[in-house]
Amino acid sequence: MTATRGRGRPRAPETDTAILTAALELFVERGVEGTSMEQVAKRAGVGKLTLYRRWSSKEDLLAQAIEQEVRAEVIPSAADVQALRPRDIVEHVLPAAAEMAASPGFRALVARIMGSAVSHPELMQVYWKHYILPRRELAAAMLRRAQQDGAVAADADLDVLIDMMAGAVTYRVLRPDPPDTAGMLRYLTAVYRQAGLYPPAADG
């Protein structure tokens, strides 16, 4: 901690982690409008200037906090989708997806991101790029494979079908009385089946 950078001392990495964690918590609890740089600094136990040295605005800080939260997920590769049986892929993917979709923290984060989609589209952009797009690419690979197998119609509009699958799940997560993990797994299974991605065991 002897070198200098910019106007002040370099921060330890754990300071950044504390700031990003505090920012994400406040965003989930109170939304963009209910969160201020002062509150984040206070909760992270740092000075307000420490925040402004790195992030020029609350929106920049929240965008990075969201990116860090959602980008860690791992998904099957496109090569896996070609190599494995559709049924095995679905059975591999769905339990983890159900657990995430049913968790209160994820539910609250998705609600806040959707809620800021119009007032702060830059937060939705971050979520879209780092969370949604990789999963859309996986779904597209699964649907193309299912088209080859004849389980999904050759003339289906895959972009629309992916919206329908992802939209249904988002919708189910945010509607009143959300299901628990077991209920969410049944729900995801029904969505995949309706889309043509979960054939009966004999065909898988």
Contacts with a copy of itself by CB under 8 A lie at: 29-34, 104, 107-108, 111-112, 114-119, 121, 124-125, 128, 156-157, 160-161, 163-172, 174-176, 187, 190-191, 193-195
Q: How far is the CB of 179 from a copy of itself (least distance, A)?
A: 12
Distance of CA 2 to the CA centre of its chain: 38
If the CB atoms of residues 51 and 169 are measured against a copy of itself, the closer one turns out to be 169
Please count the residues of the chain: 204
Q: How far is the CB of 97 from a copy of itself (least distance, A)?
A: 15
- Coil/strand/helix, residue 178: coil
- Distance, in Å, from the CA atom of 2 to the CA atom of 12, rounded to the nearest integer, reads 12
CB of 176 to a copy of itself, least distance (A): 5
Looking at the Cβ atoms of 50 and 184, the one nearer to a copy of itself is: 184
Closer of 49 and 190 to a copy of itself (Cβ): 190
Cα separation, 188 vs 193, whole angstroms: 8
The single residue listed with the structure tokens 């002062």 is 38
CA-to-CA distance for 143 and 146, rounded, in angstroms? 5
Question: Quick one: CA dihedral 84, 132, 158, 96, positive or negative?
Answer: positive
Smallest distance, a copy of itself to C-beta of residue 161, A? 6
Beta carbon nearer to a copy of itself, 46 or 114: 114
